[in-house]
Structure 1
Amino acid sequence: MKLPSPLYTTQYGKAYVGDSLELLDCLSDNSVNLVITSPPFALQRQKEYGNKSQEDYVDWLAVFAKKIKRVIKNDGSFVLDLGGAYEKGRPTRSLYNYKILIKFCEDLGFFLAEEFFWFNPSKLPSPIEWVNKRKIRAKDAVNTIWWFSKSEYPKADIKKVLTPYSERMKQLLKNSEKFYTPKKRPSGHDISKEFGNGNGNGGAIPPNLLQISNSESNSKYLRFCKIANIQGHPARFPRQLPEFFIKFLTDPGDVVLDIFAGSNTTGEAAEGHGRKWLAFEKEKDYLAASSFRFLENNKSDSEIQGFYGALLSEKEVEIRSKQSALIFK
């Protein structure tokens, strides 16, 4: 089997409409460096973008994970973003995301390289019943992100995602003796070595708590969706989230895959960092609209509407941003 014709292509990527289970079968063994995705969450109420019940969710997602393990390279990674959920009618949390972790590691043979938590400070208080009405629970503002690997030593370089030093830290590095007299820690670690050259390490090592607001309201993607008179994907994650793991776990030229691409935020982040990318999405409308992320801002309303219509009419499109051209095939 081979992949069908892509709905659209860019300098680095290709977007495909179809069932990810079938499209994954078209990929060669050990051909992908990073799979990062945010599948429809296991919620109690059905959403417009599709989601499975909590009872079926773990086994449903495991089918995808088994195929993913085949296609990622031995030093590759699988990063999975999962939202939390409550049990139906009760103020007690579902364990589905932890059941996924156990199943993937114990049954499918993945390693848990590290757990991350995405804190979205702009998230609205929810669930309504327990937080807003009865006021017996705090708002659910953190997603679990499991970083799975095929081997115990996946490709990773934390130096690529260092965070800027605070002003206080910059002063400390510039003149450590004036601001701080380091002493050996109880562990025996000599922290003075951190300030030896006055430059530090070029930035601070980030924690596994990623604080990223998801408050997009006037992005190019949403503006172009409005011009085309369509709704944007209702469950988008911010570009900074896949961007962090793309920079951390891959090198330029590596292959990044999102099997539930939605509005293709992952592809946009990969494109911006010179990584090859593949996007799989079964809903053609969502994938067609995702192409707006790769168009230049100077497109007219008629160009945007015509472009979207061409994608829906089965015309394969090549997006060449540098030349500001759309090549219809």
Structure 2
Amino acid sequence: MSPKPQAVDSQETLLSAKKNFPDDLPSDHPAHLVGKNAYFTSRLGAAFWGDSLEMLQTLPAGSVNLVVTSPPYALHFRKAYGNERKDRYIEWFLPFAKEIQRVLADDGSFVLNIGGSYNQGMPTRSIYHFKLLIALVEEIGFHLAQECFWYNPAKMPVPAEWVTVRRVRVRDSVEYVWWFSKSPHPKASNLNVLKEYSEDMLRLNRNGVRGAVRPSGHVIRNSFDKIHAGGSIPPNVAEAEFDVAENMMKMGNNAANDFYTKRCKEEGIKIHPARFPALLPKFFIKLLTDAGDLVVDPFAGSLTAGAVAEKLDRRWIAGEAVEDYLKAGIFRFEESMQHPSLF
């Protein structure tokens, strides 16, 4: 039996963080949607320690606008935060997916970050995550709105046997970020994530362009050079840093001297080993929700998604099974208050 969660204000090291959060919650606070006491609350959200599946089961149907999460991947070696084997992964995850589908609003979205892995003892790739993708669509009933990709340049060159010893494979640095929706037409606006116009687009705007038909058959109209949307529509794949909207998102997740890591070291609290970069949930929260909407992360880790949602004036709920990760996650809210530009 799991130990009963202790109130955060009983943790001496977190008193300074706790006092920033109100004790008397308004009636519309999202903490009231979950049928148990929150581990801690903020102005707009609440974090819960325990079984995330049970947490999802308490949420009312249709109450959530966005679920954005990164569950433990199916890896060969057991991680401190827990992870399922590949041959059991779909069976393990589908109960979560069923509840996510139930709690989403009709125009809601589910964004899933998941990494691939190699087959044990062989230089070939597992397809467990593709099997999961098919199951989420065909068994649960999600629609695949779009595939996105996270390029993580900080990833290690593993498996070492195939990448650095025998030199027969290259480094695996890309993870999938699948955007699912409950209906074919989820709420979304790329106007919220436009990037700056390129120099080429600005030149076209200055000089004008004549209508033409490209060799591919695409028609370039006279209005192609007009700038009126406030920015350019994100491309499918890009190589720039992720301060713009892109399908390929380039960012690391191993910062050793950021605010969160420093505070964990100061307080002697365990650092989450697979942290969500803040810019990843930020992009999808801006793309898929409006201020006041409810964002849920059932595998919250270091509470990055919740902290980003708070900064963007979205309500949020987070679930996490490891207490130390929630303790450290409070530092995310200190960070957003002291360094708002980071979010």
TM-score, length basis structure 1: 0.85
Contact 1:36 1:242 in 2 (8 A): yes
Helix, strand or coil for the counterpart of 2:147?
A: strand
Report the number of matched residues: 297
The one-letter amino acid paired with 2:263 is F
- Please state if 1:256 is matched with 2:256: no
Using the TM superposition, name which of 144-153 and 26-35 deviates more.
144-153
Deviation sequence 1:211-270 (CA, Å, 0-9, x none): 223342222111110110123100102000011110001111000000000101101111
- Please state if 1:144 is matched with 2:176: yes
Q: 1:194 aligns with which of 216, 224, 227?
A: 224
Tell me how far apart the structure 1 counterparts of residues 106 and 336 of structure 2 sit (CA, whole Å): 39
Give ranges in structure 2 of 5+ residues lacking alignment.
1-32, 237-246
Q: CA RMSD in A?
A: 2.1
- Please state if 1:287 is matched with 2:326: yes
1:154 is displaced (CA, Å) by: 0.7
Change (3 A) 1:171 1:284: same
Tell me how far apart the structure 2 counterparts of residues 20 and 114 of structure 1 sit (CA, whole Å): 26
Contact 1:162 1:206 in 2 (8 A): no
Give ranges in structure 1 of 5+ residues lacking alignment.
300-320, 323-329
Match for residue 78 of structure 2? 46
1:188 is displaced (CA, Å) by: 4.3
Tell me how far apart the structure 2 counterparts of residues 247 and 297 of structure 1 sit (CA, whole Å): 17
Percent identity of paired positions between Structure 1 and Structure 2: 46
Contact 1:20 1:281 in 2 (8 A): yes
Tell me how far apart the structure 1 counterparts of residues 276 and 222 of structure 2 sit (CA, whole Å): 40
1:167 is displaced (CA, Å) by: 3.0
Tell me how far apart the structure 1 counterparts of residues 298 and 229 of structure 2 sit (CA, whole Å): 39
1:286 is displaced (CA, Å) by: 0.7
1:199 is displaced (CA, Å) by: 4.8
Helix, strand or coil for the counterpart of 1:245?
A: helix
Bigger relative contact order (CA 8 A; separation at least 6): 1
Contact 2:65 2:295 in 1 (8 A): yes
1:233-252 → structure 2 map (5 Å cutoff)? 233-252=272-291
1:165 is displaced (CA, Å) by: 2.2
Match for residue 121 of structure 2? 89
Match for residue 47 of structure 2? 15
1:1-329 → structure 2 map (5 Å cutoff)? 2-173=34-205, 175-177=206-208, 183-185=212-214, 186-196=216-226, 198-199=227-228, 201-207=230-236, 208-295=247-334
Tell me how far apart the structure 2 counterparts of residues 297 and 69 of structure 1 sit (CA, whole Å): 30
- 4+ residue stretches of structure 1 with deviation over 3 A? 198-201, 296-299
1:11 is displaced (CA, Å) by: 1.4
TM-score, length basis structure 2: 0.82
